Amino acid sequence: MFAFSLSFFFRCCEENWPEHQNIRSSHHQEAREAQRTIQRSRLPTGAAGSACFSSKMLFPNASTRQLNGTCTSSVDMELFLHYSLIPSLFIILVLSLLQRQEHCRQRDDTSHLLGNHFGMIIPLDFVGTFSNRWSYGVAFGATANKVMFLFSEGYQPLQVPQWAQAFVLLIGGIEVGLSHFPFFACLSSEFRLVSSILGFSYSLTWFAVTVLHITQCPHGQFVGKYETVMFYWPSLLCLAFLLGRFLLMFVKSLRVHLGWELQTEEKPFLEAHQAEHVKQLLRKRPRQERKNSWFQTKIYEWDPCFQFPSRMIGTTVLAFICLYLFIVIEFCIFVCVRDELDVFEGELENYVASVNQTGTLTPVLLQVKELISVIKGVWVVTILPASLTCVSYLFHILACYRKHIKRLWAGDKHFLPLKFHNPSSSESVVAIARYSGWQIAYILWGYLIIHVMQSLCGLVIMYSLVLPVIHNQALKMLRGLGIGTLTISIVLGLMILQVWIAAKFFLQPKMGTADKQKPLALNNRLLISCILGTWLIARIDRTILQSGYEGADMGFSAWIGMLYVDHYHTNPVLVSFCHILITGHRERRLQQAIKCWYLNQSAGPCISARSRTRWLLLQTLINNPRLVMLRKSRPDRGSQEFTQILLTSSEI
């Protein structure tokens, strides 16, 4: 979903850019002459053109932007992305050779060529990883601009028909994933010394190439000065953080290797915050709870017994960077459209000047020019509130995740639609992989829709409040505003009166003292749903669809499935119970080993359970030689000779 959203957005940009380049070069002189005409002319509408968000006040002139169209960098970032697969695969191979297979030590089959020194690397546990969360999140952030630019530049390594574009995008996503796989693999590998060296070298390569690309072509064709820096500074910041992280890992692992520090313990099965959560449940609640501050009550209260998994931290960091890049790209497209509108305004002014402002279309053309100026100003002004709205949604989604997962831990499912009380296990597992993509797609498209809606609201405010004052029509505006306010007040009063009359005379009394309202109480939420549905469209934790159709919201379904997977796999009570079972089993085995050692020292040799089982198996096969034919054959020579001896003895 995220990939298709980006590809659609950038295709629109690419289709408009070549035409913009041709028109722009031929009409710059005409636009400058039009600006001079605006300054010389005395418009009958007063100072409307200069007061209503003048483009000269808000934006630099197109001729003052330092363009870099002729700049050619020696580094092609897309080509470097392809070649980065070579060191990436080398790092994966080295770490895989060092990785031990846990299951190989539990089997008797030793026919593997590499023995137990080759295993699959798990770069990140999306469910149960609570350590190095910010390192993994920054590693996700390092991939943000690669994903955005990959689809914006039309990644097409193969000439395929239109119906196969989805497979091309899938190949591009796999390539980006493989090129950034070493970041996660080096962070999660248990061979800290080797992985820190490989991770630092790989991160330094990416950092150096990115810096070289920026220094050679720092400016661009849309924003102007330092446009490339605006696009790449999040990636540089993430790579610099990873360099510091790998350097710290190297120092710690080197001290351990030299014997200056003790080796840290392996990842615990039961995390500290999960144990604290269970202890908190077993404690008796105090009679007088401490009062929270306004920030804790209204915004967020920190809980020491809860930690967000690395998946949520990584998704949030990646969503922040993608939202920033999306806003920058949107502004670049706006610059192109603004230049086209400036040329169109210049043509309008030339026409008005040619007819000496006496033509029949002159008032209409002046109103069109005023509308264009207002639209350009309102669109730029509403970038900030739309951005802050989506940023607040990202923080709010984290708070909702903690609230929802705690309710599931407590067995409360009433906040979920009835259809999602027992979700499918397969859909929940798939939701873990889908959640990040849906979250980013919701934020990006939600920002665009919210920006459009806020711009429309800004136009309404401009034409209803600001422009009448500028055109010396304040009294008329106040008169119309008063009439409108009175009309809305009367309508709302009649609606409230209808509800009161219906509750007073047409409904039966309450059935119980605990009932909050009478049976069949009226509650019209149509208007509120329309307003909030548009404003909250970027939130994935709530669906804007009506009851009974929540399953059609695939993003909300992914959110619910992800909550259930985290609930089943990270529930502190369940994890604590499993931890007690595992600890008890280890203690019993330790006691048996100590007892066997004691008997070995005092009474004689101790026979292990495995040796006893093999001896009984041999005795059974000797007494029943035909059972050898039913056993799994082994390629080694000794086993074949032993089988032949048993078969021969059975025939005798």
Is 650 or 495 the better-scoring residue by pLDDT? 495
pLDDT bracket for residue 166 (50, 70, 90): confident
Residue bearing tokens 């119309």: 480
How far is it, in rounded angstroms, from Cα 372 to Cα 366? 10
Hey, what amino acid is at 385? P
Strongest mean pLDDT among 50-64, 578-592, 597-611, 638-652: 578-592
Instruction: Decide: 124 and 136 in contact? Cβ < 8 Å.
Output: yes
Q: What is the mean pLDDT of residues 470-499?
A: 81
pLDDT at 413 over 50: yes
How far is it, in rounded angstroms, from Cα 32 to Cα 194? 62
Q: What is the mean pLDDT of residues 113-138?
A: 73
Q: In sequence order, what are the residues at sequence separation of 6 or more whose Cβ sits closer than 8 angstroms to the Cβ of residue 267?
A: 131
Nearest-CA neighbor of 117 among 93, 91, 89?
Answer: 93
Contacts of the segment 562-567: beta carbons below 8 A, 24+ positions apart: 562/428, 562/431, 562/432, 562/435, 563/401, 563/404, 563/405, 563/408, 564/408, 564/423, 564/428, 564/431, 565/127, 565/428, 565/429, 565/431, 565/432, 566/127, 566/309, 566/405, 567/405, 567/408, 567/409
How far is it, in rounded angstroms, from Cα 195 to Cα 26? 56
Nearest-CA neighbor of 138 among 240, 267, 249, 250?
Answer: 240
Helix (H, G, I), strand (E, B) or coil at 193: helix
Give the pLDDT confidence score for residue 190 in this predicted structure: 82
The first and second tokens of residue 413, run together, are: 């499912």
Give the pLDDT confidence score for residue 82 in this predicted structure: 84
How far is it, in rounded angstroms, from Cα 159 to Cα 498? 65
Q: Is 259 left (phi over 0), alpha (psi -120 to 50) or beta?
A: left
How far is it, in rounded angstroms, from Cα 325 to Cα 226? 14
pLDDT bracket for residue 382 (50, 70, 90): very high
Q: In sequence order, what are the residues at sequence separation of 6 or more whose Cβ sits closer than 8 angstroms to the Cβ of residue 333?
A: 12, 13, 16
How far is it, in rounded angstroms, from Cα 359 to Cα 346? 17
Q: DSSP letter at 110?
A: -
Give the pLDDT confidence score for residue 88 in this predicted structure: 92
Q: Residue 303 — φ and ψ, nearest 5°?
A: -120, 115
Q: What is the mean pLDDT of residues 620-640?
A: 69
Give the pLDDT confidence score for residue 503 in this predicted structure: 66
Give the pLDDT confidence score for residue 425 in this predicted structure: 80
Q: In sequence order, what are the residues at sequence separation of 6 or more whose Cβ sits closer than 8 angstroms to the Cβ of residue 327?
A: 383, 387, 447
Hey, what amino acid is at 128? G
pLDDT at 586 over 60: yes
Give the pLDDT confidence score for residue 383 in this predicted structure: 93
pLDDT bracket for residue 65 (50, 70, 90): very low
**Cβ count within 10 A of residue 644:** 11
pLDDT digits (tens, 9 = 90+) for 331-348: 888 988 988 888 888 888
pLDDT digits (tens, 9 = 90+) for 389-398: 999 999 989 9
Angle at 635 between CA 632 and CA 636, to 5 degrees: 115
How far is it, in rounded angstroms, from Cα 355 to Cα 230? 45
Give the pLDDT confidence score for residue 287 in this predicted structure: 67
Find the range with the poorest average confidence among 69-73, 365-369, 481-485, 535-539: 69-73
How far is it, in rounded angstroms, from Cα 323 to Cα 310? 20
The first and second tokens of residue 223, run together, are: 């924003």
Is 632 or 31 the better-scoring residue by pLDDT? 632
- Any alpha helices (H) in 289-309, and if so which ranges? 294-298
Is 272 or 73 the better-scoring residue by pLDDT? 272
pLDDT at 573 over 80: yes
How far is it, in rounded angstroms, from Cα 465 to Cα 475? 11
Instruction: Decide: 404 and 541 in contact? Cβ < 8 Å.
Output: yes
How far is it, in rounded angstroms, from Cα 242 to Cα 647? 63
Instruction: Decide: 459 and 377 in contact? Cβ < 8 Å.
Output: no
pLDDT bracket for residue 116 (50, 70, 90): low
Q: In sequence order, what are the residues at sequence separation of 6 or more whose Cβ sits closer than 8 angstroms to the Cβ of residue 230?
A: 223, 328
Angle at 385 between CA 380 and CA 389, to 5 degrees: 140
Q: Mean pLDDT for the chain?
A: 75
Is 37 or 240 the better-scoring residue by pLDDT? 240
Percentage of residues in the chain having pLDDT higher than 90? 12
pLDDT at 474 over 80: no
How far is it, in rounded angstroms, from Cα 6 to Cα 492? 43
Q: What is the mean pLDDT of residues 96-124?
A: 59
How far is it, in rounded angstroms, from Cα 282 to Cα 486? 58
- Any alpha helices (H) in 41-127, and if so which ranges? 48-51, 55-58, 77-83, 85-98
Find the range with the poorest average confidence among 198-212, 214-228, 436-450, 557-571: 214-228
Is 574 or 605 the better-scoring residue by pLDDT? 574
Instruction: Decide: 14 and 21 in contact? Cβ < 8 Å.
Output: no
Give the pLDDT confidence score for residue 130 in this predicted structure: 79
Q: What is the mean pLDDT of residues 582-595?
A: 75
Contacts of the segment 638-643: beta carbons below 8 A, 24+ positions apart: none
**Interhelix angle for 181-188 vs 165-179, to 10°?**
40
**Cβ count within 10 A of residue 162:** 6
